[in-house]
Structure 1
Amino acid sequence: MGARSDLDSTFDYEIVDEFLEHYSMMVDSMDIMIIDLSKPNMYEQSIDELFRVFHNIKSASSYLKISQMAKLAAFVEDALENIRTNHSSANEETINWLLEISDMFNAWKNDLTLDKELSRIKFSLLKLPDLENN
């Protein structure tokens, strides 16, 4: 039994379907927002929207008890709050880290779609980039 089957056995299928629909849209939009962080005219809008995306994923996955997703989303949300509060731009290392984070959430989207067990979090994702090197 995969991750989707686990969710369906615990929660109403409409709740699971709604989560998966919104989750897919958020994951599909991440890369564009992350790349837009390198554009000065798009930075503020992109960092705020990325923060909201990870906050929403954290909240929804916590509700559905998808703990590894909720924990990584919370970790990224905290990093994004630091970035948007203390920095006026994102460096290349930060953008590359966020793209790798996006890949992880995309892998989970595929795992859920294919009803597989969720992939393990890559340890390298838990190391914050050097935020000071702008």
Structure 2
Amino acid sequence: MGIRSELEANFDFEIIDEFLDHYAMMVEIMEPLIVDLGSETRYHRSIDELFRIFHNIKSASGYLQMEPMTRLAAFVEEALEQLRTRDKKANDETVNWMISVADMFMQWQEDLKMDNELSHVHFSLLILPDMESE
């Protein structure tokens, strides 16, 4: 049984459908926002929006009991909270790490569409980049 079948067995269809719609929208806008972290002028708007996205994914996936997604979203949310306190753009290492994170969430979107099990989180995503160096 894949993740979608598991969700459909345990939750109301409308809840799942709403989650999938919102999740698709959030995943779609992640990468442009991440790229904007490298811009002095768009950094704050992008970091705030990314924080909101990962907070929403954490909450919704927690409700739907998708533990790997919940844990990674919480980890990223904590990293973004650290970045929110900065007044300068993100470095390349941070942007590249965030793009890899976005790729994981895109893979999970595909897993949901194809009714596969959720793919395993790559270990490298669990190592925070050096967010301070420029």
Give TM-score scaled by structure 2 length.
Answer: 0.98
Q: Secondary structure at the match of 2:41?
A: coil
Which sits farther off after the overlay, 86-95 or 28-37?
86-95
CA RMSD of the aligned region, Å?
Answer: 0.7
- CA distances 1:37-71 after superposition (whole Å, capped 9, x unpaired): 11111110000000000000000000000010000
Aligned equivalents of 2:4, 2:30: Cα separation in 1? 22
- The answer to whether residue 23 in structure 2 is matched with residue 23 in structure 1 is yes
What does residue 103 of structure 2 align with? 103
Q: Which amino acid aligns with 2:90?
A: A
Are 2:8 and 1:8 aligned? yes
Structure 1, 38-47 or 71-80: larger mean CA deviation: 38-47
Q: Secondary structure at the match of 1:79?
A: helix
Correspondence 1:133 to 2:133: yes
Structure 1: which 5+ residue stretches go unaligned? none
SS in 2 for 1:37: helix
Aligned residues: 134
d(CA) in 2 for partners of 1:89, 1:58: 25
Q: State the 1:89 CA deviation.
A: 1.7
Q: Cα deviations across residues 101-128 of structure 1 (Å, max 9, x unaligned)?
A: 0000000000000100110000000000
Counterpart residue number, 2:83: 83
- Please report the TM-score for the alignment, with normalisation by the length of structure 1: 0.98
| CA–CA distance in structure 2, aligned partners of residues 29 and 69 of structure 1 | 17
